[in-house]
Structure 1
Amino acid sequence: MFTEIERPLSKNQTVNQILKQIVLNGIQSANFSDSLKSSSSFDVQIEKTKSQKNGDYATSISLKLSKILNKNPMEIATSISNAIETKGIIKNIEVAKPGFINFFLSEKWLIGNIENILSEGSNYGNSNIGKNSKIQIEFVSVNPTGPIHIGHARGAILGSVLANILKTNGYDVFKEYYINDAGNQIEKFYESVYARYLQNKKIQASMPEDGYQGEYIREIAKEISKSFNEKDIPSDKKNAKLFIGEAALNLMIENIKNDLESLKVFYDNWFSEKSLLNDGIFSEALDFLNNKNLTKTKDGAKWFTSTKFGDTKDKVLIRSNGTPTYFGTDVAYHYSKLLKRNFDQIIDIWGADHQGHVPFMKSMMPALNVDQERLKILIYQLVTIKKGSAAIRLSKRKGEIVTLKDLIEEVGVDVCRYFFISKSPESQMEFDLDYAKNESKENPVYYIQYAHARICSILEVAKETKIQFNDCDLSLLSHESEIDLINKMILLPDLMQNIASNLSPHHLPHYTLDLANSFHVFYQNCRVISEDKNDFEISKSRLKLISATKIVLAKCLEIMGMDAPQAM
C-alpha cells in the first residue's frame, strides 16, 4: 500500500498540493504551529524551480515565517526540512540562502505517474475545482457592420481556449456573442448598403458621411440584389432602406458565424441587443436603478449616478431623444446576465479600445447589488500585422481589412489559434505572416505537432512488429531525458488549475512547446525501438513512456483547438 506521499498523482491532485501539505505538516512537526495560531497572514507557495541544481520545486515560506516568528529564516527552513520525511515523492531536501527549501523529487515516484496518465487518458489534467459553477464568457461581440478581421481573432481564440480550460476544471461554461444590432452604427451600416444597392441599380446615390466604404459592402448589396425580386422590396425609401439594411445585417451575422466556426470558435448563444429593448429587460433594469435612487434627469436625458461607486463621471443611459446609449444597454445586458439568468460569474473579453469602459463596469456591480468578484474583465491589446518588413494598418470604415477568412487561407487554423493564444492578453502582439507560414522546427506549431506525429509513427512501428509493452519494467527509465520528460508531464494538472484560477491561458502553449521540446531531446538521446535484443526491455518501457507523452500532447492540442496529426 502507498502512503499519501508515496502514491502517484490521483484525479484532482497536483504536485503543488502534495508538497504544500508536506510543508504544512513539517511546520506542525517543527512545533511552529502554536506560535502561528494567531496569524493568518501566511500561505505556503510552492514554485517550480528554473534550474535543476535548486531542485524540482521550492518554497520561500521560511522568509514569510521569519517576520511572524522573529527568527532567522535559515533556522526556520532547517527546522522544517528536518521535520519532513524524505520518502515517497521526495528524494532529497536542501536548504539554500536566504531561506529557501528545495525539493528533489524521487525518480521512483515520478515513474509511477506514467501508469496514472495512461489510466486517466484524455481526462488527465482535469479537475473539479469549478464544482459546476455557472460561468458565462462573452467574447468577440464586434459590431456586425463588417467582416471579422485579424484583430478580432485574438479575442476569439482567447475566449475559446479559456472556455475549454474552464470546462476541464469542472465549470459549467456558457459562451455568448453579444450582437450589437441596435444604435447609430447600425443605422450608418443600413445607409451604406442601401446606397450601394441603389448604385447597383444604376440609381444615383451618395454614400453617407463616415459610411462603411469597404468592398464587402458592394458584395453584400450585390447579394441582396440576387436574393430578392423588385416586388419583395418596399417602394418607399424609408421601408426599402430598412428592408435592405436588415437583410444585409442578417447576411453579415451569418458570415461572422461562419468565419468564427472556420476558426473552431463556437457559441452557445447569440444574444441580440435589440432583444433587451423588445423583451422589456432594458426597462426592467432602468426601474431597478430608479428604485434605488441611482438615476437623475438632466437636460432631458436619463443619467446613472455611477460616480457614487467610483466611476470618473456619471453616465447617460437614455438620450434626450429617447434612444438608449451604449452605457444604457450595457447595464441592461449585465442585469440580464447576473440577475435574470443568474450566472455565478461572468467574464467579459474586450479589446484595448474598451479599456476606458472598465470603471463604469466596476461601478455597475454594487449598483446592481452584485459582488464585484462575479465580474471579470480581460483586456487584450490590439494586433499589428507584419508581412515582410511592412506593417499593415486596419480600418473597417475605410475598407482596409485583413479578414479572418484571408488569414486562415494564408496560414491555417492551427497556426492562427496557437499564435494568438501564445501571448499574454496585456502584451502587444505582432503577427508575422511570413514566420507563421514557416514549416520548420522554428515554427512552434510545426514543432509541437511533429512531436505528436513522431510518437504516432513509433507506436505504429511497435504495432506492426507486434511489440507488446503493457507489461514492462518502468524502473528501467533512468536517463536524464526520460526523467525530464516525466517531470514535464506531471506539471499539467497544476498548470490547468492555475490557468483556470488566474484566467491566463497563454501559459498553455508555452508548456506544450516545452513538453514537445523535452520529447524531441529524449528522442535524440534515447532510441525507443532498438534492434539490439539486449535493449528489448528498455524499448518496451520507452514505448509506454511515449504513449503517456502522446496523451498529454494530444490533451494540450485539443484544449487549444488544434489538430493532433498522426503523420506529417
Structure 2
Amino acid sequence: MNPAQLSATVVDALASLVDQGALTLPDGVPAEVTVERPRDKSHGDYATNVALQLAKRAGTNPRALAELVAERLRASDGVAQVDIAGPGFLNITVEAGAQGRIAADIVAAGASYGHTETLAGQRINVEFISANPTGPLHLGHTRWAVLGDAIGRVLSAAGATVTREFYINDRGNQMNLFGASIQAVALGEPVPDDGYHGAYVADLAQQVLAAHPGILDLPADERLVAFREAGYALQLAEQQAQLEGFQTHFDVWFSERSLHDADDVTAQLEKLRAQGHLFDADGALWMRTTDFDDDKDRVLIRSNGELTYFASDTAYYVNKRERGFDRCIYLLGADHHGYVNRLRAMAACAGDDPDNNIEVLIGQLVKILQDGEELRLSKRAGNIVALQELVDVIGVDALRYSLARYPADSPLVLDVAEITRASNDNPVHYVQYAHARTCRMMANAADLGMALPDDFDPALLAHERDRDLLRALAEFPRVVASAAELREPHRVARYLEDTAATFNRWYDTKECRMLPQGDEPVTPANEARLVLVVASRTVLANGLGLLGVSAPERM
C-alpha cells in the first residue's frame, strides 16, 4: 500500500463517517489527504494529520475526530494497526502483504512508475539558456541546461504538457559585432575593441572561408552580412550539438528575428494597446508597468523608431500565450533579478494573471575548483569557462548530477576531484553504483535460473529492512510530484541518495538475502526479494532519468 492508496483509504473513511451522519464537513470530504512517512519508525509506516486539519470545520476537537477515523481505518483492507499520537496524529501500520504489493506494482509500471496526473491538463513553456549565438556556451548556461531540462522532465512526469524552448537572441548590434569580428580575423585585421576576441572566432573564420571561398570578393556591406550569417549558422549548430550531447533537448528553437521578420512585434504591441497600458510620451511608445509594481515604466519603441529589447520580450511572451501555453516559465541568471517584476508587470499589462501565467526563476552563480583553484578560463572561448570543456574534464553524468542536486537559488562551489571520484562519498557514484548492484543481482539470479514470478506472496517481504525499502520506493511518485510543483528537481536527487542508502542497508542484511546460499533451493522468499530488487532498479533508473543522468548496469 503506497501513500496515494492510503490517502484514498483515509478519504473513504471520512466519506463513510459523513454518509453515516457521524461527521459533518460543510466544505465536503477532501479529494485527498497528506500521508507521509514518519521520521521515527516506531510511529508506524505512515502518518497523517488529517484530524488536526479538519477538526475545526467538523466542529469537534482533533483527538475526537482522530478516534472516529482510526476506528474506520482499522477495519480497512491492508491496515494492520492505527495509533493516535499527541493532539490527534494518526500513525498507521499496514499489513505486510499490502506493503509488499508495492514491489509488484512498481515492476508492472516499469518506466512509468513515478509518473502522476498532478499537473494534468496544464500546458507549460519552459524557456532556459537562451544564449546569444555569438560564442560558446559557458558555465552559467551549463547550470541552466541541467536545471531547465530536469524541470521539464519532472513537469512532464507530473502530467503536464511541456515544451522546452530556447530563445535565440539573433537580432541586434551584438550580431553585427559578431560578424565584424569574424570578418576582421579573416582579413587579417584587428578585431573591433567591442567585438569578440576568443580564439573560437579564428576557428569560425577558417570554417567560413573554407565553406564560402568567394566571400572575400563580395562588396563590403554584403561581405559583413555574409560573415555574420555564416558564423551565426556555425555557432548555433555548435550550441545545439553540445546541448544534445549534454542530454539537454529542446522542443523549440525560437528565433528572435522571426518576430520581426513577420512584423509580429508591431502587431503584438497594437494588440496590447487595446489593453490600455500603453501610452505615447516624448515621441516614444511606453508600457505603464508601474501599474503593476514595476519600479519604472518601460520603453517599447524609442523616439527614433527603434524597437527595444523589452518590445521583443513582450511580443515573445504574447506569442507564447497565443500558442496555447497556460504558464510561461523563465529561467534567468543571477544578474537578472530586476527582470522579475518587469516581466510580471508585462504579463499583467497583457491582461494575464502574473501569479498564474508567468513564473521567473533566478539561479545563482557556480564556481568550479580544480586542484584547489578556480577552473582556468578557456583560451578558445575567451573570458569564460566553456560547457564543452567542463564536459571533457568532468563528464556528462557527474556534471549534470552535481548541478541538479542543489536548489537553483543556492550559490554553488564544486570541486572537480570530489564530483568525479569513484567512491561512496560521491553522490552520483553512490546512486549509480546502487543501480549497477541491482543489475548485477538480477544477472546472478538469472544465472541460477531464477526468473520474476508470475505471482508471489507479498507478505514474505516482512522483515524490517524489507519494509524500510518498500516505504522508500513507495515515496517516489510523491517526490516527483513535489519536485514538479515546486520546480525543484534537486528533491529527486536527494531522494535517490536516501533510497540508495536504504537499499544498501537492505542488501547488507543477512536475513534479506535474495540469492539462495550454496546448494539451497530457490524459495518463495528468494523470488519475492527478486521482485523487490527489480522494483529498486526501476526506481533508481527512473529517478536518474529525470535528472538526465545515465543508469549504468555495471561500474
Give the alignment's TM-score, normalised by structure 2: 0.91
Match of 1:530 in 2: 516
In the alignment, the residues of structure 2 paired with residue 322 and residue 338 of structure 1 have an alpha-carbon distance, to the nearest angstrom, of 26
Q: Does the Cα contact within 8 Å between 2:460 and 2:528 map onto a contact in 1?
A: yes
Is 2:330 the counterpart of 1:348? Answer: yes
Higher mean C-alpha deviation, range 372-381 or range 487-496:
372-381
Match for 1:145 among 111, 134, 139?
Answer: 134
Bigger mean CA offset, 272-281 vs 548-557: 548-557
Is 1:104 equivalent to 2:93 in the alignment? yes
Structure 2 unaligned runs (5+)? none
Residue aligning to 1:409: 392
Q: Does 1:459 pair with 2:442?
A: yes
Is contact 1:15-1:491 (8 Å) kept?
no
Structure 1 residues 32 and 298: CA distance shift in structure 2, 3 A: farther
Deviations 1:449-481 (A, max 9, x none): 111212212221221221245154442222221
Is the 2:98–2:458 Cα contact (8 Å) retained in structure 1? Answer: no
1:89–1:410 CA distance, 2 compared to 1 (3 A): farther
The answer for the alignment partner of 2:287 in structure 1 is 304
Letter in structure 2 aligned against 1:454: R
1:58 to 2:43 alignment: no
Quickly say closer, same or farther: Cα 1:382–1:515, change in 2 above 3 A.
Answer: same
Q: Percent identity?
A: 32
Kindly provide the amino acid, as one letter, of the partner of residue 37 in structure 2: K
What are the Cα deviations for residues 374-428 of structure 1, in whole angstroms up to 9, with x where unaligned? 2222222221222232234879999222211111111211112211111111222
Letter paired with 1:161:
A
Which residue of the other structure, out of 530, 540, 543, is the alignment partner of 1:553? 540
Partner of 2:370: 387
Contact kept in structure 1, 2:73 and 2:79, CA below 8 Å: no
Tell me, yes or no, if structure 1 residue 215 matches structure 2 residue 199: yes
For residue 501 of structure 1, what is the aligned residue in structure 2? 485
Aligned to 1:365: 347
How many Å separate the matches in 2 of 1:392 and 1:344? 41
- The residue type paired with residue 270 of structure 2 is D
Q: Give yes or no for the alignment of 1:336 onto 2:319.
A: yes
For residue 132 of structure 1, report the CA deviation from its aligned partner.
4.7
| Match for residue 517 of structure 1 among 482, 491, 501 | 501
Partner of 1:4: none
Partner Cα distance (1:266, 1:65) in 2? 45
Aligned match of 2:220 in 206, 231, 237?
Answer: 237
Give the 3 Å change call, closer, same or farther, for CA 388–32 of structure 1 in structure 2. Answer: farther
Shift of 1:19: 5.4
Report if aligned partners of 2:11, 2:31 keep a CA contact under 8 Å in 1. no
- Residue 174 of structure 2 aligns with an amino acid whose one-letter code is Q
CA distance in 2, matches of 1:560, 1:198: 45
C-alpha distance in 2 between matches for 1:506 and 1:459: 29
CA displacement at 1:119 relative to structure 2 = 1.8
Query: What's the offset of the Cα at 1:304?
Result: 0.9
Task: Tell whether the 8 Å contact from 2:7 to 2:33 is kept in structure 1 after alignment.
Answer: no
Residues 289 and 297, structure 2, Cα contact 8 Å, conserved in 1:
yes
For residues 265 and 452 of structure 2, the distance between their equivalents in structure 1, rounded to whole angstroms, comes to: 64
Q: How does 1:270-309 map to 2 (within 5 A)?
A: 270-309=253-292
**CA-to-aligned-CA distance 1:243-271 (integer Å, 9 cap, x gap):** 21221111111111011011011112211
Normalised by the size of structure 1, how large is the TM-score? 0.89
Q: Deviations over 1:523-565 (max 9, x none)?
A: 1113221225557312222212111211222221222222222
* Matched position secondary structure for 1:536: coil
Inter-partner Cα distance in structure 1 for 2:333 and 2:83: 46
Q: Which residue pairs with 1:90 in the alignment? A: 79
- 1:491 aligns with one of 459, 463, 475: 475
Give the counterpart of 1:154 among 133, 143, 148: 143
What does the per-residue CA deviation read over 1:290-327, in whole Å, with 9 as the maximum and x for residues that have no partner? 23332222333221111122222100112233222121
- What's the CA shift for 1:126? 2.1
CA contact (8 A) 1:234 1:243 kept: no
Moved more, 77-86 or 544-553: 77-86
Contact persistence 1:381–1:426 (CA under 8 A): yes
Asked if the contact 1:132–1:170 (Cα under 8 Å) also holds between the matched residues in 2, the reply is yes
- For the Cα contact (< 8 Å) 1:212–1:398, is it kept in 2? no
* In 2: Cα distance, 1:368 partner to 1:225 partner: 46
Partner SS state of residue 270, structure 1: strand
C-alpha deviations, 1:200-259, integer Å up to 9, x for none? xxxx43x33333222222322232233322x33454433322221221111111111011
CA RMSD of aligned residues (A): 2.8
Deviation string 1:30-77 (CA, Å, 9 cap, x unpaired) is 96743x416999984333322213333323344444555676544443
Q: CA, structure 1 residues 376+396, in 2 after alignment: closer, same or farther (shift >3 Å)?
A: farther
Change (3 A) 1:395 1:531: closer
Counterpart selection for 1:400 from 383, 392, 416: 383
Range that drifts further, 459-468 or 188-197: 188-197
SS in structure 2 of the partner of residue 153 of structure 1: helix
SS in 2 for 1:258: helix
Alpha-carbon distance between aligned partners in 2 of 1:31 and 1:352, rounded to the nearest angstrom: 56
Kindly tell me: are residues 371 and 535 of structure 1, through their superposed partners in 2, closer, same or farther at Cα, counting changes over 3 Å? farther
What one-letter code is carried by the residue in structure 1 that aligns with 2:497?
A: L
Query: Structure 1 187/396 Cα, relative in aligned 2: closer, same or farther at 3 Å?
Result: farther
Inter-partner Cα distance in structure 2 for 1:26 and 1:540: 38
Structure 1 residues 285 and 475 mapped into 2: Cα distance closer, same or farther (>3 Å)? same
Q: State how many pairs are aligned.
A: 550
Q: Contact (CA 8 Å) 1:350, 1:378: kept in 2 or not?
A: yes
The 2-side partners of 1:559 and 1:386 are apart by 27
Task: Check the 8 A contact 2:299/2:308 in 1, yes or no.
Answer: yes
Answer whether contact 1:15 1:494 (CA < 8 A) is retained: no
Range with greater deviation from structure 2 (90-99 or 249-258): 90-99
In structure 1, the gaps of 5 or more residues are: 1-7
Deviation at 1:141, TM superposition (A): 0.7
Q: Which amino acid aligns with 1:193?
A: I
- Tell me if structure 1 keeps the 8 A contact 2:439–2:554: yes
In 2: Cα distance, 1:511 partner to 1:322 partner: 54
1:437 counterpart (420, 425, 436): 420
Q: Decide whether the 8 Å contact of 1:212 with 1:396 is kept in 2.
A: no
Q: 1:549 to 1:210 in 2, by over 3 A?
A: same
